[in-house]
Chains A and B, each alone.
Chain A
Amino acid sequence: MQQVVNGILVVNTETIPGKVITETMGVVSGSTVRAKNVGKDIFAGLKNIVGGELTQYTELLQESRNEAVGRMVADAMSIGATAVVNVRFATSAITAGAAELFAYGTAVKYE
């Protein structure tokens, strides 16, 4: 169970179920741009001909999303928050091999 990332609670609901928010501390965000190596890009291109899931890119986006969430949590920690609520994600493809992942939410204190 990983409900707590580095001591900070992360949820995408407006309130924390079962807890009371005492103070809001503004928007925190984290973003990352990652790419796979050329070999995996070529393999994904080959896989694309026959269709189906492109596992290399699934992996890539999973890793970068975790990294973006980690940066957002670090941002929240630096201003002394204890939780991040209402988390949203945005994705944009820069080139076919690289993607920008952006996570943002509201830093709060709860009791």
Chain B
Amino acid sequence: MKTSVANFRSFSILVIMAFVTFSLNVVAQGGAVEDEGFPLVLIFLLPFILLSLFGVVWMILWPAMFVWGAVFSGAKVERMHEEANQRRDSLSKRMGREILNSIDGGYRTDVSSAGLVHANGVFGPSHWHLMIGFVNNLIGGSVTVFQQVISAGRAEVMQRLREQAEEDGWDEVINVRIDTASMTPQSSNTRNTVRGVEIFAYGTGIKYE
């Protein structure tokens, strides 16, 4: 796996180098060949132009969105958590009880049908929260900003599981398991990867007779 990744990397570097030399050649010849040189240059330089354009847009957009995130993201996370709790309360009022259980359903013998039910969500802290988390890490102790994001996400995903179970027509969900997996691979050390945590809840829906 590792070697194939390294192979791919060196191959892509080779391709890019060939591309650059080729397009430089075209640029150099563009002056000599006047009739059809110009569009050819554009075609070969197009990826680089797009890349630099994207860089410029990112440079303008990033600080603006960073400030936006610094001002609004904390309140947004809290609102998400509150909203999930409200939906949970209204659903448990409608169904008459809490429908998720983490125990095996062997105690029930009056079950007519059963089946898998699952729900998921990917949640990430904002870059502002990442910065606060970094400072928090230096001091030590609990890193509340990340904990807020993840617990809000977990509440949301559990609520999605309840709604999915209701939509599929189950009376109760037994043997509920909750998995948390990082979307950011350990191997990547680049700064621009997406920071996110996937929360996944699954269980067995059962229907009473």
Query: Which residues of chain A have a CB within 8 Å of any CB of chain B?
Result: 1-5, 9-19, 41-42, 44-54, 57-58, 61-62, 65, 69, 87, 89, 91-97, 99
Q: Considering the chains assembled together, what is the distance between the CA atoms of A11 and B192 in angstroms?
A: 39
Q: Which residues of A contact B77 (CB under 8 A)?
A: 51-52
- Determine the main DSSP class of A at the interface with B: mixed
- Determine the main DSSP class of B at the interface with A: mixed
Q: Considering the chains assembled together, what is the distance between the CA atoms of A18 and B69 in angstroms?
A: 50
Q: Considering the chains assembled together, what is the distance between the CA atoms of A15 and B111 in angstroms?
A: 12
Please list 28 pairs of residues, one from A and one from B, whose beta carbons are closer than 8 Å in the complex, sorted by A's number. Answer: A3-B113, A3-B114, A11-B116, A12-B175, A13-B175, A17-B105, A17-B111, A18-B108, A18-B114, A19-B114, A44-B194, A46-B65, A48-B127, A49-B65, A49-B126, A50-B69, A50-B73, A51-B126, A52-B73, A53-B122, A53-B156, A54-B123, A89-B200, A91-B198, A91-B200, A95-B185, A96-B184, A99-B198
A-B contact count (CB 8 A): 161
Q: Considering the chains assembled together, what is the distance between the CA atoms of A15 and B114 in angstroms?
A: 11
Q: Are A15 and B106 in contact (CB under 8 A)?
A: yes
Whose C-beta in chain B lies nearest to the C-beta of A51? B126
Q: Considering the chains assembled together, what is the distance between the CA atoms of A53 and B80 in angstroms?
A: 10
Q: Assuming A17-B206, A89-B202, A96-B184, what are 7 further A-B pairs, CB within 8 angstroms?
A: A1-B170, A2-B168, A18-B206, A53-B122, A53-B156, A61-B200, A91-B200
Q: Considering the chains assembled together, what is the distance between the CA atoms of A69 and B115 in angstroms?
A: 12
Whose C-beta in chain A lies nearest to the C-beta of B149? A51
Q: Which residues of B contact A10 (CB under 8 A)?
A: 115-116
Q: Are B185 and A14 in contact (CB under 8 A)?
A: no
Q: Are B114 and A11 in contact (CB under 8 A)?
A: yes
Q: Are A96 and B69 in contact (CB under 8 A)?
A: no
Min Cβ gap B41→A in Å is: 24
Query: Which residues of chain B have a CB within 8 Å of any CB of chain A?
Result: 54, 61-62, 65-66, 68-69, 72-73, 76-77, 80, 104-106, 108-116, 118, 120-129, 149, 153, 156, 168-170, 174-175, 177, 179, 181-185, 188, 192-196, 198, 200, 202-207
Q: Which residues of B contact A92 (CB under 8 A)?
A: 181, 185
